[in-house]
C-alpha cells in the first residue's frame, strides 16, 4: 500500500490480469490497472451486508487527488445510509434525450399525429434537440439547460419556438411515463421569442399577373392545376396534392376530405373551381386529381413550379400559403363574416380564422374614410346651425 499519486499511477504497469493498488490514506480507495493499460479509480465499501465497488473514473480525466476527494465524499454518503453504486445503476437506466426521443417518436408521434406533423417533430428532434442535448439523460436536464438551448437558436425564432414546443411535449410524457419523477417540466414558463407575422395578400393587379403566368406555364399543367385550385378554394397544399377523385362530388359541388389538419371536412366549391376540376383529365389507374411522375402517385413537388410561376408573375417572396391568406382576406373584404370564412377554410376555431383573415390596408382605409366622412358631415351640419 502507498499513497496513490500521479507517480504511483504512472509506475503501475499492466500484467496478464487486472490488479489493484490500494491507497494508504483512504484504505477503501484504489487504482485498478487493467491488462490493456487502462487505469481506473475505484472505491470499495460495505452496504446491505455485502461489499460494493464504486467506479469513480478513469485516470486522465481524473487526477489522483481529485479521485481521492471524491472517494471521501462518497464514503460520507455511505455513512449516512446511501448506496452510490445502486444509485448509479438506476441512473444508467434513465434514457438519454436521444434514446427518449426515439421512444417519443415511436410511442406518441407516429401513433397520434398526422404525417406532416410527424415530419415537423422529427426535424426538430434530429436537427436541433439531439445534436445539442442528445447525450444528456432526461433526468439531468434543467431549466438552465433549456434556456441555453432555446437561446442558441434565437436567430431563427420561429424554429426555436417550435422546437421548444416539441421538447416540452417530450418532458410532459417523460413525467407521464415516469422517466422523470420530480414533476417538473424544465420547459414550462420559458418565454417564447417574438415572431414576425407575415401579412401578404394578392392585389387585383397581382392576381392578373398570376393568371397570365398560369396561362404561360404550358409545360407544367399538373402544378398549374394544383395552384389554381389552391387559389380558388383556400385549401392547404397537402389537401390539394393528395386529393383523390373519390373525394370530388360534382353534383353537390364539394370536396369531401376524409383527413386534413383539422380532421375530416367538406370544402364547398365555387363554379370557377368546378371548371378547373372538370378540365383535368383522369388518368387510368391513378386515383389522384393532381398526378405525379410516378405511376399511380400524386405530384409531390409544387414548390419548384410555384417559384418559376411567381418569378414570371413578379411575385417574388409570395408563398403558396399566401394564396390561402388571400382567399380569406378577399372573402372578408367582400363582406363575409369570420364564421362563414372559417367554414370555407375548414377551421374549428374562429381565432384561427381571425389569424388568417387580416383586413387589407385599402379596405381599412376605405372604411375609415366612410366613418370619418360621416362623422365630419354631422359635425359640419352641427356647426352650420
Residue with the bigger pLDDT between 181 and 364: it is 181
Residue 341's pLDDT band (cuts 50, 70, 90): low
- In the predicted model, what is the mean pLDDT of residues 68-83? 87
The per-residue pLDDT for 231 is 87
One CATH from 2.115.10.20, 1.10.443.10, 3.40.120.10, 1.10.287.1120 for 204-358: 1.10.443.10
* Grid-cell match 407575422, residue found: 197
Least confident interval from 45-54, 148-157, 219-228, 239-248: 45-54
The per-residue pLDDT for 333 is 61
Least confident interval from 2-6, 36-40, 131-135, 158-162: 2-6
Fold of 6-93: Double Stranded RNA Binding Domain (3.30.160)
The per-residue pLDDT for 81 is 81
Percent of the chain, pLDDT > 90?
Answer: 47
Give the Cα separation of 317 and 226 in Å (integer). 19
One CATH from 1.10.287, 1.10.3470, 1.20.120, 1.10.150 for 97-176: 1.10.150
The per-residue pLDDT for 355 is 56
pLDDT of 383 > 80? The answer is no
- Most confident range, picked from 70-79, 240-249, 254-263, 324-333: 240-249
The grid coordinates listed for 216 are 404561360
The per-residue pLDDT for 258 is 85
What angle separates helix 157-176 from helix 115-124, to the nearest 10 degrees? 100
pLDDT of 385 > 80? The answer is no
Average pLDDT for the chain? 84
- In the predicted model, what is the mean pLDDT of residues 51-59? 87
CA 76 → CA 44, 240, 299, 312, distances in Å?
Answer: 13, 68, 68, 76
pLDDT of 378 > 80? The answer is no
Taking only the tens place, the pLDDT of each residue in 239-287 is 999 999 999 999 988 888 887 766 677 888 888 889 999 999 999 999 9
Query: Length of the chain, please?
Result: 385
pLDDT of 325 > 90? The answer is no
Domain ranges in the chain are 6-93, 97-176, 204-358
Percent of the chain, pLDDT > 70?
Answer: 81
pLDDT of 60 > 80? The answer is yes
pLDDT of 132 > 70? The answer is yes
Residue 3's pLDDT band (cuts 50, 70, 90): confident
Amino acid at each position: 500500500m502507498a499513497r496513490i499519486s500521479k507517480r504511483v499511477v504512472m509506475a503501475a504497469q499492466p500484467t496478464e490480469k487486472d490488479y489493484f493498488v490500494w491507497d494508504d490514506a483512504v484504505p477503501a480507495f484504489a487504482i485498478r490497472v487493467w491488462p490493456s493499460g487502462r487505469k481506473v479509480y475505484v472505491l470499495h465499501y460495505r452496504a446491505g451486508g455485502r461489499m460494493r465497488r464504486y467506479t469513480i473514473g478513469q485516470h486522465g480525466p481524473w487526477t489522483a487527488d481529485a479521485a481521492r476527494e471524491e472517494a471521501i465524499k462518497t464514503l460520507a454518503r455511505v455513512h449516512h445510509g446511501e448506496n452510490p453504486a445502486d444509485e448509479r445503476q438506476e441512473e444508467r437506466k434513465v434514457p438519454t434525450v436521444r434514446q427518449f426521443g426515439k421512444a417519443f417518436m415511436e410511442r406518441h408521434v407516429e401513433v397520434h399525429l398526422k404525417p406532416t406533423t410527424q415530419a415537423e417533430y422529427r426535424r426538430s428532434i434530429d436537427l436541433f434537440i439531439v445534436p445539442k442535448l442528445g447525450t444528456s439523460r432526461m433526468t439531468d436536464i434543467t431549466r438552465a439547460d433549456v434556456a441555453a438551448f432555446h437561446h442558441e437558436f434565437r436567430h431563427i425564432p420561429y424554429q426555436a419556438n417550435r422546437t421548444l414546443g416539441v421538447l416540452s411535449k417530450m418532458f410532459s410524457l417523460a413525467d407521464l411515463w415516469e422517466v422523470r419523477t420530480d414533476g417538473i417540466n424544465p420547459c414550462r414558463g420559458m418565454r417564447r421569442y417574438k415572431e414576425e407575422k407575415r401579412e401578404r395578400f394578392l392585389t387585383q393587379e397581382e392576381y392578373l399577373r398570376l393568371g397570365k403566368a398560369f396561362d404561360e406555364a404550358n409545360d407544367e399543367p399538373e402544378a398549374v392545376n394544383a395552384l389554381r385550385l389552391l387559389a380558388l378554394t383556400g385549401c392547404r397544399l397537402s389537401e390539394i396534392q393528395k386529393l383523390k377523385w373519390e373525394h370530388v362530388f360534382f353534383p353537390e359541388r364539394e370536396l369531401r376530405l376524409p383527413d386534413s389538419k383539422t380532421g375530416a371536412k367538406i370544402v364547398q366549391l365555387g363554379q370557377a373551381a368546378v371548371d378547373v376540376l372538370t378540365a383535368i383529365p383522369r388518368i387510368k389507374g391513378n386515383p389522384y386529381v393532381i398526378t405525379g411522375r410516378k405511376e399511380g402517385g400524386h405530384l409531390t413537388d409544387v414548390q419548384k413550379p410555384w417559384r418559376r410561376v411567381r418569378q414570371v408573375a413578379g411575385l417574388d417572396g409570395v408563398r403558396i400559403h399566401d394564396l390561402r391568406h388571400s382567399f380569406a382576406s378577399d372573402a372578408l373584404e367582400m363582406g363575409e363574416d369570420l364564421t362563414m370564412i372559417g367554414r370555407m377554410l375548414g377551421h374549428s376555431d374562429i381565432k384561427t380564422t381571425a389569424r388568417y383573415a387580416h383586413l387589407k390596408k385599402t379596405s381599412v382605409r376605405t372604411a375609415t374614410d366612410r366613418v370619418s366622412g360621416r362623422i365630419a358631415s354631422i359635425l359640419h351640419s352641427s356647426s352650420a346651425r
